[in-house]
Amino acid sequence: MINFVSYRKPAFIISGILVVLSIIFMFVPGLNLGVDFTGGTILERQTAQNVTTDQVRRVLDEATPNIDLAGAVVQILDRPNQFMIRTRELSNADIIQIDQAFDTEFGSLIELKTDVVGPVIGKELVRNALIAIVVSAVGILAYVSWRFEYRFATVAVLCLLHDVLIVLGFFAITGREVNSPFVASVLAVLGYSINNTIVVFDRIRENRRVKKKQSYGELVNQSLNQTLTRSLNTAITTLVVIVMLVIFGGSAIGDFAMALLVGILLGTFSSLFLAGPLWMTWMERQK
């Protein structure tokens, strides 16, 4: 039997540090918001030959001097003959001119993807994403308070905020792009995290009814150990498919899968080392 409760101090400290760091990372260096949020243009193109970011930049500088592309981000995608340019909102005429330049320089240009997003849409997306997270949290809080009790609910929501914040921090420090699918993956993490926590709390509630004399520490430890195999097996099967998405998904789905990967690792950690011990600490303080 693993004594989870005995690790609560280091677990709280590590989590606390990670959450604080994540919040700092969200300001410095800050989240790499994609055009979905900021507005702007994304061009993904494929050419006949392998290119480097320098080559792409050179074409942009030399062939389209009339278009202001200062601050444009150039990135090579999964394959060396595919690249991406991210820049401000461009007109269609600008895009056509840029495409012609690439076609002349590198040959047989294929348009993979073009996104042009106005600034208004981006602002709405930020607002909707925040609404989604807040409404989900409130909904879960209400449901868990009703089915269990408010302390379980509060701890569960704290755990999922912990998971989501660290995913955001991870994306900020690694400079991965935050876009509209990222919002979906964060909410999936939220769903997974709450699911895990509830399984543990469900067991604590059940054990509490049966053995009234147990200390909170014993109760939490027993419940965590009883649900441990389940927690690990579910984490394994879920992680297996996500790792496949990370490996084979390519650029279109890679970041989405990466957010899930980090989030599910965190969700597993918080349901084992944070949820029960936090609840226990709360209960003991109240005595």
Partner 1 sequence: MLSIQSAKEESHLRRRDAWRIGIIVLVLIASAVSLYISPFTLGLDLRGGVNVVLEADESATTVTNESMNGVVSIIERRINALGVSEPLIQRQGARRVIVELPGISDQQQAIDTVGATALLEFKDPQGRTALDGSYLKNVQLGTDRYGQPAIDLEFDQEGARLFAQLTTGFQGQTTTIVLDGEVLQTVMIREPILEGKAQITGGMTIEEARHMVVLLQEGSLPVPMKIMEIRNVGPTLGQDSIDRSFRAGAIGVILVLLFMAFYYKLPGITADLALLIYIVIVLGVLSAIDAVLTLPGIAGIILSVGMAVDANVLIFERIKEELADGKRLRSAIEAGFNRAFATILDSNITTLITAAVLFFVGTGGVRGFAVTLGVGILASMFTAVIVTRLFLDFMVERRPDTMAKHFSSGGLKR
CB of 150 to partner 1, least distance (A): 15
Distance (Å, whole) CA 15 – CA 208: 27
Which C-beta is closer to partner 1: that of 68 or that of 111? 111
Instruction: Give 57's Cβ-side CA count (13 Å radius).
Output: 10
Which of 64/180 has CB closer to partner 1? 180
Q: Among 143, 147, 156, 196, which Cα is nearest to 279's?
A: 156
The residue (of 25 and 256) whose beta carbon lies closer to partner 1 is 256
Q: Which two tokens stand for residue 184?
A: 């979906």
Distance between CA atoms of residues 66 and 37, nearest Å: 26
Query: Helices (H), strands (E): how many in the chain?
Result: 10, 6
Q: How far is the CB of 12 from partner 1 (least distance, A)?
A: 24
| Minimum distance of partner 1 from residue 4's CB (angstroms) | 15
Nearest CB to partner 1, comparing residues 81 and 281:
81
User: For residues 271 and 238, what is the distance between their CA atoms, to the nearest angstrom?
Assistant: 15
Nearer to partner 1, 61 or 111 (CB): 111
Taking the complex as a whole, how short is the minimal distance between the CB of residue 39 and partner 1, in angstroms?
9
Q: Minimum Å distance from CB 114 to partner 1?
A: 4
* CA end-to-end distance (rounded Å), the chain: 27
Nearer to partner 1, 180 or 281 (CB): 180
CA distances from 90 to 51, 72, 85, 86, 195 (A): 23, 11, 12, 10, 43
CB of 117 to partner 1, least distance (A): 5
Measured CA angle at 257 (ends 176, 49), to 5 deg: 65
